[in-house]
Amino acid sequence: MAKLYFNYSTMNAGKTTLLLQASYNYQERGMHTVALIAAFDDRAGRGRISSRIGLSAEATPFEGTDDLFAIVEDLNKEQSIACVFVDEAHFMTREHVWQLAHVVDRLGIPVMAYGLRTDFQGKLFPASQELLAIADELREVRTICHCGRKATMVVRLDSSGAVAHEGAQFEIGGNEKYVSLCRRHWEETMNGG
């Protein structure tokens, strides 16, 4: 039975690596998969996802106004899809999350979404909030803070390396821009401690 999965964590936990590995496992068994990524996330090139450790794969880019159900339905008509993977799922809209739920419920195709739970200010991303509410299965991908505790929060650094306290919720970046911390060290860092 198909399900909607939300694999969430903070930055640098290996979500994309896990996505690419899971997709490869399907493909190795002769099954077709589709990877989706927000079009504006072009760090690895438009329509491409890449992990920190160098794994990468082609993906179907989507815009904020695109209907993900229609995209998957059309792709499924071309070649039967065994599973849909979404990288950086927090970049989706709430509507996108429901469109993927329809992929599961109406087309019987499992969807595995990988993304952040909260932003640099400790607020839920809209898509992550929706996924937490309606996903069939939630899976936390863990990483650690510099103190060794589980990292659950992230701070954003500005161009000078100072901690940002305001700004757009979506800002593309990696290790040069974001640091994963436990709740205690996130709060201390955000409060200048």
What is the pLDDT averaged over residues 18-43? 94
- Kindly list the structural domains of the chain, giving each domain's residue range(s) and its CATH number in brackets, ordered by start: 4-141 (3.40.50.300)
Q: Say which residue, 103 or 170, is predicted with more confidence.
A: 103
In this prediction, residue 90 carries a pLDDT of 94
Q: What is the pLDDT of residue 134?
A: 98
Cα separation of 125 and 103, whole Å? 22
Q: In this predicted model, what pLDDT tens digit does every residue of 14-29 receive, in sequence order? A: 899 999 999 999 999 9
Query: For residue 6, what is the enclosing H or E element?
Result: strand 4-9
- The more confidently predicted of residues 171 and 109 is 109
60 vs 72: CA distance, rounded Å: 10
Clarify whether 166 is annotated catalytic.
Answer: no
Whether 12 and 177 have beta carbons less than 8 Å apart is answered as no
What pLDDT digit, counting tens, does each position of 124-167 carry? 999 999 999 999 999 999 999 999 999 999 988 888 877 878 77
For the segment 45-103, what is each residue's pLDDT rounded down to a tens digit?
788 998 888 888 999 999 999 999 999 999 999 999 999 999 999 999 999 999 999 99
Angle at 147 between CA 142 and CA 149, to 5 degrees: 35
What integer pLDDT is reported at residue 142 of this predicted model?
A: 92
pLDDT for the residue 168: 72
| Catalytic entry in 28, 73, 78, 88 | 88
Predicted confidence (pLDDT) at residue 174 exceeds the cutoff of 60? no
CA distance 120 to 134: 23
Two structure tokens written together for 121:
């200010």
According to the model, what pLDDT value does residue 175 have? 60
b/e 161-191 (16+ beta carbons within 10 angstroms → b): eeebeeeeeeeeeeeebbbbbbeebbeeebe
**Alpha-carbon 156 to chain mean position:** 17
Residue 95 in tokens: 């509507």
